[in-house]
Structure 1
Amino acid sequence: MTVLPYIFVLFGAILWGTTGTAQTFLPDSAHPFIISAGRSASGGLFLLIIMVFLKKIKFRSWPWKHTLYAALCISLFQLLFFSSVRLTGVAIASVVAIGSAPVFSGLIEWVFLKMRPTKVWGISTGLAIIGCMFLFITKGEVSINPLGILYSLVAGIIFALYTMTSKYLLQKEEAISIVAMTFSLSALLLTPFYFIFDVSWLKDVGNIGIIFYLGLATTSVAYVLYGWGLRKIPASSALTLSLAEPTTAALLGVIVVGEILSATSWVGIGLLLGSIAILTFGSKSASRPTVKEGEVSV
């Protein structure tokens, strides 16, 4: 098994890790729902225009049902995640949301798809959970808001469902086309929020630049990389690798935003990095049954 798909997922997750930090540069009046809508629109529509121009999308035969599922999942995930960042900070929101996703995915694969987790996945995920606990138990200045934690946990479940739905779609279409269609539909679903919340802050060029960064870098590029990797590896493994996101977010939260993490939190970051290394390189010698076409239905 080549290591390249794991590297793709890893780099995609690192780009995701910059999302929460980028959001902190937006004004307080920037509602998380508008940020989500703008991110989906700038990321999805940009790719959609390119894919339509290249005639890579066949609308008549497109798997609309599962694409709508994926769009609903990613829309809800963004709404919950950005809301959680506002309530409990970049580091904790990222750790809880993405840290819980591989556990939920592994359980879903095991219970519903009868895919028993490998030892490598079990060890790496176990280390990741311990790492998340160390990151969570902080005596620094990171606030822990119960509602924010709840948002993050639900976001973790939804992201696991998004990943499994994408896994099915990747058996049908190319990763770039899937990201284009999924986020364009997400942008459409989130459009009503433009008429509900304040959008005056979008008049600032700097704020628009941040939205475009969120759309192009953390959506277009990141999710395409994630899709390329996800095509070749199990969903639960991809989600464990995505723990590079909270690791990146935690580091950026300290370096850029000024959040303070305790010594135990740094131990947690080390454990997360170790879990990623074990899964990436340990999976080269491990084998696991792949999902047959049509087997996943979310």
Structure 2
Amino acid sequence: MPNDTSSHPASASRAQDEAAACPRPRRAGPFAGPLPILTAAVLWGTTGTAASLAPAGAPAAAIGAAGLVLGGLLLLLTAPGSRSLPRACTGGERRLLALGVLAVAGYPLTFYPAVARTGVAVATVIALGGAPVFAGLLAWLTRRSRPSARWITATAAAVLGCTLLVLGPGLAGDGAAVDVLGVLSAGLAGLSYAVYALAGGQLIARGHASGAVMGVMFAGAALLVLPVVLWGGGGQLLTVRGVLVVGYLGTVTTFLCYRLFGHGLRHTAPQTATTLTLAEPAVAAVLGVAALGERLPGVSWCGLAVLALGIVLLAVSPRRHPRTEHPARATVK
């Protein structure tokens, strides 16, 4: 976490310049970046399965929105500096923060309906498979940072693995018709995810505490989706099963996961982070086999192997000379 003086724009700029010129003595290894993000991805892989256990008749968007409301409130209350963050931001940073809030709010409103229409595996693969592509393109357009060959190779392998994972049943002659609206909804979820990952990564890179950034973004998004819970949730979410599902989504897959994700973003480029989270659909697929009795053909298991290869390429980065760019200025690895 940065010092209190880093909340001032001028101080943050000087601090970043000094950090870039004089590298920190502590090297940012996997435990400082990739590992927290991968841990969050594994837990995110349980989201679709957990949501499927909600009471029958509960709207998918209301389930996701309720989890966001609970998790956003917890993130705001437990992150030091959250309430003072908007005042510490410059005008441009406030606009970036607002964009992140909108993107966070858009994710559950598009992802959970996509899960309901297309199933857990297809929705997570499309959303998370599209996220790194959107992230790379947005970073290129907004920061003029060109993705490295390593990132392109790892992302291509991961997306190919996701594609094989989804198309495996169809290639094995056991496929069903694809729900176009569900696919589009999942794609919008992937875009939303990429936008708030980039927005949060840029704010963290400018010296703001990761916990405060996530707290403000998710608390703001919780306010936006609260009407969906109040007007569309009905009484189903007030049952014991509904409370348990929302409690898990809010405390584990939102609060805990995004604390881990925000911490990992301090030492990992947002484009790389979105590719690492492609572990989520793999976990979702394995859970479907182990917990829900689903079956995966050999093609899908090959896809999982290719997906794992892409993740390893990013998680195990090569050793770098001590005088490398500061994580806050690092481009795609």
TM-score (normalizing by structure 2): 0.81
Aligned length: 292
1:152 correspondence with 2:173: no
Quick check: 1:88–1:143 contact (8 Å CA) kept in 2?
no
Structure 2: distance between partners of 1:219 and 1:281: 26
Unaligned runs of 5+ in 2: 1-27
223, 245, 248: which one aligns with 1:210: 245
2:87 corresponds to: 61
Flag the 1:146–1:285 CA change in 2: closer, same or farther, 3 A: farther
Deviation at 1:292, TM superposition (A): 4.8
1:250 corresponds to: 285
Quick check: 1:89–1:142 contact (8 Å CA) kept in 2?
no
2:143 corresponds to: 113
Deviation at 1:154, TM superposition (A): 1.7
Quick check: 1:24–1:257 contact (8 Å CA) kept in 2?
no
Code of the aligned partner of 1:147 = L
Quick check: 1:138–1:264 contact (8 Å CA) kept in 2?
yes
Code of the aligned partner of 1:35 = I
Q: Which moved more, 1:199-208 or 1:265-274?
A: 199-208
Structure 1: distance between partners of 2:168 and 2:178: 9
1:183 correspondence with 2:249: no
Flag the 1:55–1:7 CA change in 2: closer, same or farther, 3 A: closer
Provide the aligned C-alpha RMSD in A. Answer: 2.4
Flag the 1:195–1:227 CA change in 2: closer, same or farther, 3 A: closer
21, 46, 55: which one aligns with 1:27: 55
196, 202, 215: which one aligns with 1:162: 196
Structure 1: distance between partners of 2:228 and 2:82: 30
Quick check: 1:142–1:260 contact (8 Å CA) kept in 2?
no
1:2 corresponds to: 29
Deviation at 1:291, TM superposition (A): 5.7
1:96 correspondence with 2:126: yes
Deviation at 1:82, TM superposition (A): 0.3
Quick check: 2:85–2:212 contact (8 Å CA) kept in 1?
no
Cα shift readout 1:94-150 (whole Å, capped 9, x = no counterpart):
011001111111122223322122222122111112101211212246763221111
Flag the 1:143–1:263 CA change in 2: closer, same or farther, 3 A: farther
Code of the aligned partner of 1:153 = G
1:268 correspondence with 2:298: no
2:75 corresponds to: 47
Code of the aligned partner of 2:251 = L
Q: Which moved more, 1:107-116 or 1:40-49?
A: 107-116
1:124 correspondence with 2:154: yes
Structure 2: distance between partners of 1:247 and 1:283: 25
Flag the 1:23–1:58 CA change in 2: closer, same or farther, 3 A: same
Cα shift readout 1:205-229 (whole Å, capped 9, x = no counterpart):
2220111110111111111111111
Which stretches of structure 1, 4 residues or longer, exceed 6 Å deviation after superposition? 286-289
Quick check: 2:63–2:237 contact (8 Å CA) kept in 1?
no
SS in 1 for 2:144: coil
Structure 1: distance between partners of 2:194 and 2:231: 29
Quick check: 1:39–1:214 contact (8 Å CA) kept in 2?
yes
Structure 1: distance between partners of 2:270 and 2:117: 29
Structure 2: distance between partners of 1:95 and 1:161: 17
1:15 corresponds to: 43
Flag the 1:174–1:142 CA change in 2: closer, same or farther, 3 A: farther
Structure 2: distance between partners of 1:127 and 1:44: 33
Quick check: 2:154–2:313 contact (8 Å CA) kept in 1?
yes
Code of the aligned partner of 2:30 = V
Structure 2: distance between partners of 1:275 and 1:284: 18
- Based on CA coordinates, which of the two structures has the bigger radius of gyration? 2
Quick check: 2:130–2:187 contact (8 Å CA) kept in 1?
yes
Quick check: 1:141–1:261 contact (8 Å CA) kept in 2?
no
1:74 corresponds to: 104
Flag the 1:130–1:59 CA change in 2: closer, same or farther, 3 A: closer
Identity %: 32
Quick check: 2:105–2:221 contact (8 Å CA) kept in 1?
yes
Flag the 1:114–1:62 CA change in 2: closer, same or farther, 3 A: same
